[in-house]
Amino acid sequence: MDLKKLLTPFTAWGNITKDPVTIKDPFNERPGADRYRGFHKNDIDQCIGCGTCEVICENEAIDLVPVSDSKDGDSGLRPMIDYGRCCWCALCVDICTTNSLSLSNEYTWVSTDPEDFRFVPGVDKKDWDNNEKGWKKPDNYEFYSLKRVHMDELSPEERSDSFIEMMKGYSKEQAQQEADRCVQCGICTATCPAHMGIPEYIKAIRNDDLEEGLRILYDTNPLPEICGRICTHKCETVCSMGHKGDPISIRWLKRYIADQNPSEKYKEILEVENLQPKGKKVAIIGSGPSGLSAAHYLALMGYEVKIFEKLEAAGGMMRYGIPEYRLPYDQIDKDIDYILSLGVEIQYNVTIGKDITLDQLGKDYDAVFSGTGLHLGRSTGIPGSDNKHVYASPDLLRWIVEGKEFEVPESVVVIGGGNVAMDITRSMARLQMVKYGKVQVIATALETEENLPADLEEVVEGREEACIINAGWAPVEIEIKDGVPTGLHVVKCNSLFDSEGRFNPQTDPNVKEFWPGTMIIESIGQGMDLSYISEEFKTKLEFGPRGRVQTDEYFQTGVEWFFMGGDIIEGPDVIHGIANGHKAAVGIDIMLNPEKN
């Protein structure tokens, strides 16, 4: 026999000199070990009701129930534990995406009422709520990767003089790896303006069923190639995985599904056939996201749809306001061509109010939907802003798309810190690089660095491309010499809002700078052009804050046959426009078929 095994029993004699553990009152004093798995605790402020605890519980001991208090990115539900089923395995704690759930080391509880043993931790107060002992998720112990899968992109050197798309897209392996991080909680769906079936299409990627994924996308979003590239992805801001790590790359996964499905198979995949004509016609003003969305759903309902577009190509600000390095034209066309294949017609180079009146459309069609977007630039109104060499960003972005020739100067100053400002800043930098082999573009914004309205990735990428982005400065004057700008005078901006939250910038005139530029571009927001609506027609409409036309829940105006949506009503962003167009299509269908109401 091994000597070690022979001597092992005698090691117990080492305890003979130790004091025994004596529990004087075993009926009332039976403390669990420090890491004992006892009754649940839940930090209500941290919990978002994602439901991962409910899903993982094999004993079905957890049910999510509504609670009175909730916040943004919160389902409004909390876990209720049934201790008649709970086996204290602690999987619910281990998988918790916010670390809100834990176990105390309390394990004794006497009650004659069985209902007492079913309660909502953190809501139903218990004696052990402040007990710091018990089971918590160990550090560096995660069921899912906290890091999102990086998408490859062109290097700054490769993209600085090119409008070629910079993001390369996920491979199958990358997409499935990222999809595996999703816990299917669904909070993203509630936040998405279009309420897309996000967990469902991510599951389709995990199952490698991309045709099913496409069907899920098209349930609520007929522009997946576009939205998969430039959606503002508010869904990602509430992703439960983002509480401890990186949120799921929801936008990129949507793009992956759309990229992998060939457009020629869309009708077959989406099972579109034998559309039943209703014998009624709908006119749509503008081929932006809301107009295209409305056209798609109306066509599926059997309506004859015609879009009237002012410009030479469809897409609205998606085509004419977003640079091609972010949104290639062929991907815009892929989404639009499918909508046209449903029988939708687009008449180009038609200006409503000039070539045909709104009243005439109302007579010729059973309903009219307007989604004309925000195409007009806004001016700062500072001295010098009326100079002909001071431009609005929407105009320049459109000229770049149209291939219109204009002078590209060696020095440019952009006023603005939003995404559109970053778009024109980076576009001008590319044009400068092509013409001069160097970049001299300065963008300035009122907001501080941490409060810039542009997406962080836009700011980072712009600086990688040699653009200078100066935050926290207020423009005061554009200096003009011999009829040409020479630069922008700015002063330090100390705050934007007053104590009541109203926009009221406060500056320090003693801290000032001058930034040279022979072209000044204003990019401080966009405005709507409602000139196509006659003054007489406007008297039939109700206007609200910021001059926006008031509509009902289906985007119907005070004129029964006239609907409005998109950025001129709500936004500005593509996904709100898509959601508006869908809802308006439903409203038009109800209006033309009252029996459905």
The CATH number of the domain holding residue 568 is 3.50.50.60
Q: How confident is the model at residue 256 (pLDDT cuts 50, 70, 90)?
A: very high
pLDDT value at position 28? 66
517 part of a folded domain:
yes
What is d(CA 366, CA 347) in angstroms, rounded to the nearest whole number?
Answer: 18
What is d(CA 51, CA 68) in angstroms, rounded to the nearest whole number?
Answer: 17
The four Cα atoms 123, 125, 127, 130 give a dihedral, to 10 degrees, of 50
To the nearest 10 degrees (0 to 180), the angle between helices 172-179 and 250-260 is 140
203 part of a folded domain:
yes
Are residues 33 and 124 both part of a single domain?
Answer: yes
161 part of a folded domain:
no
Q: How confident is the model at residue 454 (pLDDT cuts 50, 70, 90)?
A: very high
Tokens of 65: 């129930």
Query: Per-residue pLDDT for 368 more than 70?
Result: yes
Are residues 399 and 522 both part of a single domain?
Answer: yes
Are residues 534 and 520 both part of a single domain?
Answer: no
8 part of a folded domain:
no
pLDDT single digits (tens) 68-86: 776 778 899 999 999 999 9
Are residues 262 and 292 both part of a single domain?
Answer: no
pLDDT value at position 597? 59
CATH number at 261 reads 1.10.1060.10
Contact present, 369 and 584 (Cβ < 8 Å): yes
Q: How confident is the model at residue 301 (pLDDT cuts 50, 70, 90)?
A: very high
Domain encompassing residue 326: 281-375+528-596
Are residues 113 and 211 both part of a single domain?
Answer: no
310 part of a folded domain:
yes
Mean pLDDT of 121-132: 93
pLDDT single digits (tens) 257-298: 999 999 999 999 999 887 889 999 999 999 999 999 999 999
- Determine the 3-state secondary structure of 80 from DSSP: strand
The four Cα atoms 399, 400, 401, 403 give a dihedral, to 10 degrees, of 80
pLDDT value at position 138? 86
Nearest to 120 by CA among 32, 35, 44, 38: 44
Are residues 386 and 519 both part of a single domain?
Answer: yes
Are residues 190 and 328 both part of a single domain?
Answer: no
9 part of a folded domain:
no
Query: Per-residue pLDDT for 4 more than 90?
Result: no
Query: Per-residue pLDDT for 1 more than 60?
Result: no
| Amino acid found at 55 | V
Are residues 42 and 88 both part of a single domain?
Answer: yes
What is d(CA 581, CA 566) in angstroms, rounded to the nearest whole number?
Answer: 7
Are residues 394 and 479 both part of a single domain?
Answer: yes
* DSSP string for 392-438: EHHHHHHHHHHT------S-EEEE--SHHHHHHHHHHHHHHHHHHSS
pTM of the model: 0.90
Q: What is the mean pLDDT of the chain?
A: 93
pLDDT value at position 83? 95
Are residues 184 and 298 both part of a single domain?
Answer: no
Total domain count, the chain: 4
Are residues 290 and 310 both part of a single domain?
Answer: yes
CATH number at 95 reads 3.30.70.3270
Task: For residue 151, report the phi and psi dihedrals to the nearest 5 degrees.
Answer: -95, 130
147 part of a folded domain:
no
pLDDT single digits (tens) 304-358: 999 999 999 999 999 999 999 999 999 999 999 999 999 999 999 999 999 999 9
CB atoms within 10 A of CB 254: 27
